[in-house]
Amino acid sequence: MKKHTKKSFSDVLIIQKFCKEQSLEEWQRLSPIAKEILLKVASFCAQNHKGDQRLAKIILTLSKDADDSTKLDYCYSEIQKLKIGNHQFLNFTSEFGKDGLNFTWKWYPPHPFEGYKCKKREGGCPTWEKILCEEQKVGKFTVKTECLNPRKKPPQAYPAGNTSTYKVFVKGYENFLDYVKDIQKGEVTKEEHIQLFQFLYKTVLPDAELGVEHKLRLINHNLDVNTLHFKFETVRSDGDEIAKDVIH
């Protein structure tokens, strides 16, 4: 009985830590019984629209990912092998398919890269301090998200359902190609990359999906400002056609 009680208490502590950190690593530390309990609660909440919907989505997503977490390296292995050559710029769209996460790369050239649009605007490109989002640490990375609309005077929150709130800026990089170079130089490890992309998919995405009718997918556009950032765009229910009213 004492052994059972000690194990149950340990499960409670791990569940508490999982609910706080919501990471794949913490999910994998849970016992089968703890996972079963959380999955039942999450399924009930999702089906009946009760409780913490965001946490329920995270639990259901993590349970799928954990079945084969070695496959879900968020394309780190693929990024290591990308041939940069004379390319000046790189961005991407992404989607989850039957084989896991897939990125569609867009290289410049052959597409023309004419510089960042912000450099042609009055006042130039925003400094890190002028990006109107909440700053936080994600492992080694300093990021900003939960953004205000800078076009409003004074700046104010975006309306509910506007995914611009959930842009994620990463300090120290101009664009995704800079980030790729750091991966290929070994300055961003697989673990650090996974931690950043888990934050995008497991923490930010569930928030962004609340109140949005269509599914969302992660993209990197980055032609407007010279700070690496990720955002989400809506995808129609068939999973193929991107909605025309994409919010930037």
- Tens digit of each residue's pLDDT (9 = 90 or more) over 123-153: 999 999 999 999 999 999 999 999 999 989 8
**22/141 same-domain check:** no
**84/167 same-domain check:** yes
Nearest-angstrom CA–CA distance, 161 and 158:
8
**50/132 same-domain check:** no
In a domain, 247, yes or no: no
Domain boundary among 68, 98, 123: 68
Nearest-angstrom CA–CA distance, 169 and 231:
9
In a domain, 128, yes or no: yes
**111/44 same-domain check:** no
In a domain, 248, yes or no: no
Domain boundary among 30, 52, 68: 68
In a domain, 244, yes or no: no
Confidence of residue 248 (pLDDT cuts 50, 70, 90): very low
Q: Residues of 29-67 as b/e, b for ≥16 C-beta within 10 angstroms?
A: ebeeebbeebeebbeebeeeeeeeebbbbbbbbbbebee
Number of structural domains (the chain) is 2
Task: Please tell me the pTM assigned to this model.
Answer: 0.70
Q: Identify which of 146, 151, 149, 152 has the alpha carbon closest to the alpha carbon of residue 134.
A: 146
**64/85 same-domain check:** no
Residue span of the structural domain in which 119 resides: 76-235
Range in 26-40, 59-73, 176-190 the model is least confident about: 59-73
Domain boundary among 19, 42, 68: 68
31 vs 107: which has the higher pLDDT: 107
For the stretch 70-129, pLDDT in tens is: 457 899 999 999 999 999 999 999 987 656 688 999 999 999 999 999 999 999 999 999
In a domain, 243, yes or no: no
CA angle 243, 154, 210 (to 5 degrees): 35
